């Protein structure tokens, strides 16, 4: 029996190109649909174990508005839902990182005794100092380095901007930590910078959300930890082969959030590259691939890309284990009806990507006082939110603009917009909605 979940790959695309056409788009849906062998129980631990670190901002600003007390409650909630086999630690972050539990730079195994001691240590947290997030992450990276092969996950909480280290220091820390662990983040209050958390979680393959009300932190921490406890496979990658003279233009995660993976490519063979996906449990994610292929004559067929899901081998020098695979196809035709048909899933995710960009560009223009650009981009976002069926984003847009005509995107900027509403719209712009079930593959295999 396998010690891994059962993974599947499904490819949705229109494989037909006009004569001389070059650009092929496909949506690759990756799912872990079941578990066999040792992991059949939903609460079972990964074969290589799990490692979890909680990083709490303890800068001086956390002493206001009940944020420190809420952070303590949230950290306790996370500790209480960790499995007994998990190795864990709690870090306090200010001008530098400080180990709260355990003593010394190490992780300890969760047990009744260590749980009780960790809960007591969290209760002694206090707020003082500045914010240097890169140094906090670097400490987490050093701690995780002693647990290769484990599902490695960190929770990061902050309430402010990264003011006490340079952008270069943060970037260096992210470079060091990328691939070492996955990090999910929460910004509490309204004084933090969504662009910073977006950069951090993008580099570390996680997600981030706004928490305007500190009392909601406990729910968020419990949810993030429970999700991490459900991960069973670490270091999953999407391996993509393309034929000679073809170019993989981009690989983007589209569900559950928009995240560009293109720049994370690691060469893994001739005409082959790996794109890191992080840790997996029972879940499904969707990816948008765009391949530029050499132009072909009518009637020619080819494999535009060969996608595989892989994990590291059992030993450091062992080959990667392949979990699932699928094909992106291309066929040139003179049938205009075939070559101009746009696959519904490709169209949907193209719209969601444009929606995220329109919101972020519109809010940035608004912050800079460029009302014309802000009005145009947020108006376009209204149209796209309706088109892709993202009702949550549509509701958040209503708090920032007055919608005069949703069909044309005619809007008027609201004069008094709360910082919390602006942060929510910016933060959640990359959170996407799914399309309906994909059609069954056609007999000729054009669905992948």
pLDDT digits (tens, 9 = 90+) for 177-190: 999 999 999 999 99
121: enclosing H helix or E strand: helix 112-123
In whole angstroms, give the CA distance from residue 151 to residue 204: 13
Residue 161 clears pLDDT 50, i.e. is over it: yes
pLDDT exceeds cutoff 80 at 274: yes
Which pLDDT band, with edges at 50, 70 and 90, does 80 fall under? Answer: very high
Segment 33-41 mean pLDDT: 47
For residue 256, give Cα distances in angstroms to 43, 349, 409.
23, 11, 26
pTM score: 0.93
Percent share of the chain, pLDDT over 70:
94
DSSP string, 366-412: HHTT-HHHHHHHHHHHHHHHHHHT-HHHHHHHHTTEEEEETTTTEEE
Question: Alpha-carbon distance 46 to 321, whole Å?
Answer: 16
User: Judging by DSSP bridges, how do beta strands 247-255 and 259-260 pair with one another?
Assistant: antiparallel
The share of the chain scoring above pLDDT 90, in percent, equals 91
Average pLDDT, the chain: 93
**Cα(102)–Cα(69) distance, integer angstroms:** 21
The pair of structure tokens assigned to 372 is: 């014309």
User: Model confidence at 33, in pLDDT bands (50, 70, 90)?
Assistant: confident
User: pLDDT band at residue 246, thresholds of 50, 70 and 90?
Assistant: very high
| Per-residue pLDDT at 198 exceeds 70 | yes
pLDDT-derived band at 168, boundaries 50, 70, 90: very high
Check whether 378 has a pLDDT greater than 90: yes
pLDDT band at 443 (very low <50, low <70, confident <90, very high): very low
Q: How confident is the model at residue 404 (pLDDT cuts 50, 70, 90)?
A: very high
Question: Residue 56's pLDDT band (boundaries 50, 70, 90)?
Answer: very high
CA distance 237 to 273: 10
Q: Give the model's pLDDT for residue 46.
A: 77
**3 state DSSP class of 98:** strand
Q: What's the pLDDT at 2?
A: 56
Q: Using one digit for the tens of pLDDT, what is the confidence trace for 300-332?
A: 999 999 999 999 988 888 899 999 999 999 999
- pLDDT band at residue 436, thresholds of 50, 70 and 90? low
Mean pLDDT of the 203-216 span: 97
Residue 381 CB neighbours (<10 A): 31
Run of H or E residues at 30: strand 23-35
């Amino acid at each position: 029996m396998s010690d891994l979940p059962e993974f599947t790959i499904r490819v949705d695309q229109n494989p037909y190109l006009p004569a001389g056409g070059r650009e092929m788009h496909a949506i690759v849906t990756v799912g872990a649909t079941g578990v066999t062998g040792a992991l059949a129980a939903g609460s079972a631990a990964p074969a290589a174990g799990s490692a979890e670190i909680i990083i709490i901002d303890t800068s001086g600003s956390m002493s206001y508005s009940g944020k420190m007390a809420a952070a303590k409650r949230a950290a306790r909630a996370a500790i209480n839902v960790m499995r007994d086999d998990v190795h864990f630690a709690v870090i306090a972050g200010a001008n530098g990182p400080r180990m709260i539990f355990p003593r010394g730079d190490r992780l300890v195994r969760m047990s009744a005794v260590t749980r009780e001691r960790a809960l007591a240590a969290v209760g002694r947290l206090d707020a003082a100092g500045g914010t240097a997030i890169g140094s906090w992450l670097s400490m987490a990276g050093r701690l995780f380095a002693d647990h290769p092969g484990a599902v490695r996950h960190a929770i990061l909480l902050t309430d402010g901007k990264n003011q006490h280290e340079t952008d270069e220091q943060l970037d260096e820390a992210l470079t060091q930590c990328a691939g070492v662990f996955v990090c999910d983040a929460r910004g509490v209050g309204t004084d933090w910078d969504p662009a910073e958390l977006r950069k951090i979680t993008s580099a570390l393959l996680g997600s981030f959300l706004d928490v305007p009300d500190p009392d909601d932190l406990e729910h968020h921490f419990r949810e993030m930890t429970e999700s991490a406890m459900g991960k069973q496979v670490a270091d999953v990658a999407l391996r993509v082969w393309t034929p000679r003279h073809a170019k993989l233009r981009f690989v983007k995660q589209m569900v559950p959030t928009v995240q560009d993976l293109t720049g994370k490519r690691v060469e893994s063979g001739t005409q082959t590259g790996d794109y890191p996906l992080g840790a997996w449990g029972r879940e499904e994610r969707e990816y948008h691939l765009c391949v530029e292929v050499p132009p072909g004559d009518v009637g020619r067929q080819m494999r535009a890309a060969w996608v595989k899901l892989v994990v590291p081998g059992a030993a450091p020098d062992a080959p990667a284990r392949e979990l699932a695979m699928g094909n992106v196809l291309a066929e040139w035709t003179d049938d205009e009806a075939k070559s101009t048909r746009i696959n519904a899933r490709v169209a949907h995710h193209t719209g969601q990507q444009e929606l995220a960009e329109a919101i972020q560009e519109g809010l940035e223009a608004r912050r800079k006082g460029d009302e014309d650009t802000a009005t145009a981009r947020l108006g376009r976002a209204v149209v796209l939110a309706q088109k892709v069926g993202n009702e949550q984003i549509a509701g958040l847009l209503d708090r920032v603009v007055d919608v005069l005509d949703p069909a044309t995107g005619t809007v008027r900027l609201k004069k008094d917009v709360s910082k919390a509403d602006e942060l929510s719209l910016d933060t959640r712009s990359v959170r996407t909605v799914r399309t309906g079930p994909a059609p069954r593959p056609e007999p000729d295999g054009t669905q992948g």
